[in-house]
């Protein structure tokens, strides 16, 4: 991997995937300069901008003005905000709108928003005309450090989260850190769970840095840009090594198997649980389960929980508002997880901070017993 570079306060992470290679730009003011950045790298002349009702009033006009200035005609599709938008109904609507805008293969679908918009828009871009160019303009921390990078797109099914989708790499990612200033504290904390995840996977020094510097990351400035750049580089490294999640890319799902089950159990109701909160609880559960099966010290689980709790994230199932279904129902959701192969349960477990690994064939009996123990 190329090292992160800096120029004019813009950090760049390059994702070298051959003909599908692309850059991730991280810095201030990138929405206002998006047209120039896109136009200088790609050669399309039309764009369908997909966004949601929360993001559109803040950033849509600035993005469209930038595209206009670069000679890129654009049409906007504004969707409801929230996880429930990742549905077949909205996918069909977006595909129709992209075709109505006469977007051709060398033109663009531009995702302006958080992870929901990015996942849905990327799926549409991957299937309309059998694939059109795709640009991510992530406006949440979670999207900037995780979902906008790597080409995984999709929607939810009644059977579980992200079970329908395609791999479709973006052609460019523009992570405008100014956009994070408009996030609520809850939204920012939820994204931070994914930042912490990279330290817990295989970067213990980064996790220790976060323990000492998380307040500066929350405050903004250089520490925030550094945390985002390190996270993007970490994800890019894994994606390049295993683009289609045939092996080590599964490490990026640390905490997600438990977390996705909890999201499904709440009906993807963001008033109860958002994705990053599910990941936070899931990462604690993964470390606790690892300790339970004698892979890691209980002290590691306590350290993970202490840090996530310090930043204000939930770390226990009991912190989710409302009533959760029985452990058996959570287990059913886990059994639908995309990482299940041949009916065998696959979890991301750990031997300590920054020592995560893919564990195949985890005994279901151990998992259900653990879930019953942790269930509120």
Helices (H), the chain: 34-41, 61-69, 88-100, 115-127, 141-142, 185-202, 204-219, 222-241, 256-265, 275-292, 298-310, 327-335, 364-374
- Percentage, residues of the chain above pLDDT 90: 84
| Nearest Cα to Cα of residue 251 among 146, 119, 165, 161 | 146
Give catalytic residues, as residue numbers. 130, 152, 194, 235, 245, 249, 253, 256, 260, 275
What CATH number is given for 5-182 in this structure?
3.40.50.1970
In a 3-state reduction of DSSP, which class is residue 362?
coil
Strand partners, 136: 111, 173
How confident is residue 3, by pLDDT bands cut at 50, 70 and 90? Answer: very low
* Residue reference for tokens 């995780």: 146
Residue 191 pLDDT greater than 50, yes or no: yes
Q: pLDDT tens digits for 246-260? A: 788 889 999 999 999
Q: pLDDT tens digits for 264-314? A: 999 989 999 999 999 999 999 999 999 999 999 999 999 999 999 999 999
Read off the DSSP letter of residue 183: S
List the chain domain ranges.
5-182, 185-374
How confident is residue 2, by pLDDT bands cut at 50, 70 and 90? Answer: very low
How confident is residue 5, by pLDDT bands cut at 50, 70 and 90? Answer: very low
Mean pLDDT for the stretch of residues 178-200? 96
Q: pLDDT tens digits for 36-70? A: 999 999 988 999 999 999 999 999 999 999 999 99
Instruction: For domain 185-374, give its CATH number from 3.40.50.150, 1.20.1090.10, 2.40.340.10, 3.40.50.1860.
Output: 1.20.1090.10
Report the predicted TM-score, pTM, of the whole model to 2 decimal places: 0.90
Supply the mean pLDDT for the chain: 93
| Nearest Cα to Cα of residue 222 among 10, 4, 2 | 10
Q: Tell me whether the CATH fold assigned to 5-182 matches the one assigned to 185-374.
A: no
Distance CA 133, CA 219 (A): 34
Distance CA 237, CA 357 (A): 16
| Nearest Cα to Cα of residue 119 among 163, 159, 160, 78 | 163
Q: pLDDT tens digits for 92-148? A: 999 999 999 999 999 999 999 999 999 999 999 999 999 999 999 999 999 999 999
- Name the phi and psi angles at 289, rounded to 5: -65, -40
Distance CA 27, CA 109 (A): 22
How confident is residue 337, by pLDDT bands cut at 50, 70 and 90? Answer: low
| Burial (Cβ within 10 Å: 0-12, 13-18, ≥19) of residue 268 | buried
């Amino acid at each position: 991997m190329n090292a992160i570079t800096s120029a004019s306060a813009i950090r760049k992470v390059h994702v070298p995937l051959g003909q599908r290679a692309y850059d991730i730009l991280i810095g201030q003011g990138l929405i206002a300069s998006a047209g120039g950045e896109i136009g200088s790298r790609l050669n399309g002349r039309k764009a369908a901008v997909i966004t949601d009702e929360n993001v559109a009033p803040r950033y849509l006009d600035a993005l469209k003005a930038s595209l206009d200035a670069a000679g890129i005609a654009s049409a906007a599709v504004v969707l409801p905000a929230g996880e429930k938008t990742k549905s077949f109904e909205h996918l069909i609507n977006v595909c129709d709108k992209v075709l109505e805008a006469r977007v051709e293969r060398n033109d663009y679908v531009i995702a302006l928003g958080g992870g929901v918009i990015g996942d849905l828009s990327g799926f549409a871009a991957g299937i309309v005309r059998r694939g059109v160019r795709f640009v991510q303009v992530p406006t949440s921390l979670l999207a900037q450090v995780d979902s906008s990078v790597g080409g995984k797109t999709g929607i939810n099914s009644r059977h579980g989260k992200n079970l329908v989708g395609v791999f479709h790499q973006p052609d460019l990612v523009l992570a405008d850190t100014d956009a994070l200033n408009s996030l609520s504290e809850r939204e920012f904390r939820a994204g931070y769970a994914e930042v912490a995840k990279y330290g817990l996977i295989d970067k213990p020094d980064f996790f220790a840095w976060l323990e000492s510097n998380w307040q500066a990351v929350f405050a903004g400035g250089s520490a925030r840009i550094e945390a985002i750049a390190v996270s993007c580089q970490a994800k890019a490294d894994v994606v390049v090594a295993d683009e289609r999640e045939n092996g080590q890319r599964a490490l990026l799902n640390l905490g997600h198997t438990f977390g996705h089950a909890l999201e499904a159990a709440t009906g993807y109701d963001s008033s109860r649980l958002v994705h990053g909160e599910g990941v936070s609880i899931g990462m604690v559960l993964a470390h606790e389960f690892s300790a339970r099966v004698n892979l890691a010290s209980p002290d590691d689980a306590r350290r993970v929980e202490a840090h996530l709790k310090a930043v204000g994230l939930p770390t226990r199932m009991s912190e989710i508002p409302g009533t959760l279904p029985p452990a058996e129902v959570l287990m059913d959701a886990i059994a639908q997880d995309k990482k299940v192969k041949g009916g065998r349960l696959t979890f991301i477990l750990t031997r300590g901070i920054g020592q995560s690994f893919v564990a195949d064939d985890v005994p279901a009996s151990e998992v259900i017993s653990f879930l019953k123990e942790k269930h509120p």
